[in-house]
Amino acid sequence: MATINGSDIKKLVVACDAGMGSSVMLASTLRKQLVKNGVTVEHTPVNSIPADADLVVCHSGLAARARASAPGKPVVPFQVFLGDPAVTKVVKAIQTGEDINV
């Protein structure tokens, strides 16, 4: 299991597949929550994760593809697009400088 400190995250990527826009809503929500922490939040296709991403969050069904697309990058999978405990934990860790275990 890898660990990244929340204070080291400057670019968070919400990776998606061709869906219904739920991940766009998540990216927008995260952008608002993390703007004060200087974190850039981007929404990208799972097969096009940028090399400068510090952390990737994606639906659990896309986690394997995200890891293949961004080898070596920490990937946090979630089950529910809004209100998922895994995403809440990431936000808290970034805001407080806690570690995220992935």
Tokens 């890898």 appear where? Answer: 2
Length of the chain: 102
Judge whether 53 and 47 are in contact, CB under 8 Å. no
Active site residue 16: yes
Number of C-beta neighbours around residue 52 at 10 A: 11
Rounded to 5 degrees, what are φ and ψ at 5? Answer: -85, 140
**Catalytic option among 16, 30, 62, 94:** 16
Tokens encoding 22: 């739920």
Catalytic residue numbers, as ranges? 16
